[in-house]
Structure 1
Amino acid sequence: MTNKGSYEGIVADTYDIWFSGDVFDDTAFYEKLIAEASGRALEIGCGTGRLLVPYLQKGLEVEGVDPSSEMLSVCREKGEQTGVSPVLYEQYMQELQLPGKYKTIYIPLASFMLVIDRGEAIQALQQMYLHLDEGGQVIIPLFIP
């Protein structure tokens, strides 16, 4: 199972220092794909809302999931400060049990690679498929270290 402990405490409190600013290399990429799909989106590994909160401010219908309660708490606070109310779920991606389906499911920053067990990675992909609207898209960036 992915270790959520590494995204609690001081890491959650200081995460936005590492990723400061309003626009990142991947901001326009996901925004374009979400807008083109024209439907509700799910950000897996939304953390403190680096992408999710600005997308909500722009009127995109995006929900978030993350296993870290502390990262989600920061995301809620950022939402309140900017006038949006993010819909957030505290879950691991391989255990998704959400009430709806999505036109776009995306996992920024190669966070899919945090699932190191092959069986759990397959389970995560299966859970994403179960939450995908017909004709929807799953976007998973990967890199080879």
Structure 2
Amino acid sequence: MAEENQFSGELAAFYEATHDHGDVGDESFYRDAATNAAGPVLEGACGTGRLYLEFLRNGVDADGFDISPAMLKILRKKAASEGLTPTVWEADLRSIGADRSYALALVPYNSMCSLRRVDDQLAALEAFHDVLEPGGRLLFDVYVPRYDVVAEAFGEWQDVREVEHEGTLLRGRSRADIANQVTQTYRTEQELLDADGEVIARDEFVLSHLPAQQVELLARQSPFDQWSVRGGFDGEPLADGDGVQVWELRK
């Protein structure tokens, strides 16, 4: 069973409404990488198509997969409304199921952190290595924990925003807390409440902290030949104070 979050229909719609294109800050980085790739592109954990549909809009020969059928349903609906033809399927980061090879593979927005065991993390790297062409690249980003935010906000419900789903106005809230101090994982709970304050949808998922040293060790144990890391999406070296690690592994 995959550790990645699968999302209910309601929570997939909430995710879509709260992750507008342009909000995350990674769009131009991944779009440029995809449009400049010397061959087909694969996006893992493509979700509702925040990035994937942008690739198609720019003429990229791109495939995608996600573990959540509810997320892919939204992606396909959005694509149909724009006259786009997506090639996406339901799959796990550890078992991709692609039927061709790629010049570039992407796993944006901390999705690698959904794999909590070393065996699963290595299995994902091996799976992507297998579907890349010789010289192909894997790009992914993982967060750098901000311990000041962790200490202040963990354990408290945070109201996010309201969203309309199938004619009903819902309020979303989320709460994060430590899942396991030894394994350095945290749990995020998400709830959708109706106008009466009743919870109509709930989900939770656990993510790993993946510090740079651990990712480098994973890279060293993987089949990839080369790897490098940057701090953020501007190409600068990773340094104290950065909030994002951007990794490139080359076959």
TM-score class, shorter? over 0.9
Structure 2: runs of 5 or more not aligned = 146-251
Determine if contact 1:57/1:82 at 8 Å carries over to the other structure.
Answer: no
Q: Which has the higher helix share?
A: 1
User: Which runs of structure 2 are paired with 1:1-145 in the superposition (5 Å)?
Assistant: 1-5=2-6, 7-21=7-21, 24-145=24-145
What percentage of aligned pairs have identical amino acids?
26
Query: What is the CA-CA distance between 1:4 and the residue it aligns to?
Result: 3.3
Determine if contact 1:37/1:136 at 8 Å carries over to the other structure.
Answer: no
Matched residue type, 2:125: L
Most deviating of 13-22 and 128-137? 13-22
What CA distance in whole angstroms lies between the structure 2 residues aligned with 1:138 and 1:105?
5
Tell me how large the CA RMSD over aligned residues is. 1.5
What CA distance in whole angstroms lies between the structure 2 residues aligned with 1:35 and 1:21?
17
Cα offsets for 1:97-133 (capped at 9, x unmatched): 2101111100110111111111011001000000001
The 3-state SS of whatever aligns with 1:141 is strand
Q: Which has the higher strand share?
A: 2
What CA distance in whole angstroms lies between the structure 2 residues aligned with 1:45 and 1:119?
19
What CA distance in whole angstroms lies between the structure 2 residues aligned with 1:23 and 1:86?
23
What CA distance in whole angstroms lies between the structure 2 residues aligned with 1:10 and 1:33?
32
What CA distance in whole angstroms lies between the structure 2 residues aligned with 1:77 and 1:22?
20
- Cα 1:40–1:24, aligned 2, differ >3 Å: closer, same or farther? same
Query: What is the CA-CA distance between 1:24 and the residue it aligns to?
Result: 4.7
- TM-score by length of structure 2 reads 0.55
The 3-state SS of whatever aligns with 1:94 is coil
Matched residue type, 2:3: T
- TM-score by length of structure 1 reads 0.92
Q: Which has the larger radius of gyration?
A: 2
Determine if contact 2:21/2:27 at 8 Å carries over to the other structure.
Answer: no
Query: What is the CA-CA distance between 1:35 and the residue it aligns to?
Result: 2.2
Matched residue count = 144
Query: What is the CA-CA distance between 1:137 and the residue it aligns to?
Result: 0.5
Query: What is the CA-CA distance between 1:3 and the residue it aligns to?
Result: 4.0
Structure 1: runs of 5 or more not aligned = none
The 3-state SS of whatever aligns with 1:142 is strand
What CA distance in whole angstroms lies between the structure 2 residues aligned with 1:53 and 1:22?
13
Greater RCO, 1 or 2 (C-alpha within 8 Å, sep 6+): 1
Query: What is the CA-CA distance between 1:37 and the residue it aligns to?
Result: 2.1
Query: What is the CA-CA distance between 1:38 and the residue it aligns to?
Result: 2.1
Matched residue type, 1:52: Y
Most deviating of 97-106 and 7-16? 7-16
Determine if contact 2:35/2:55 at 8 Å carries over to the other structure.
Answer: no
- Cα 1:40–1:82, aligned 2, differ >3 Å: closer, same or farther? same
What CA distance in whole angstroms lies between the structure 1 residues aligned with 2:96 and 2:54?
24
Q: Aligned residue for 2:172?
A: none
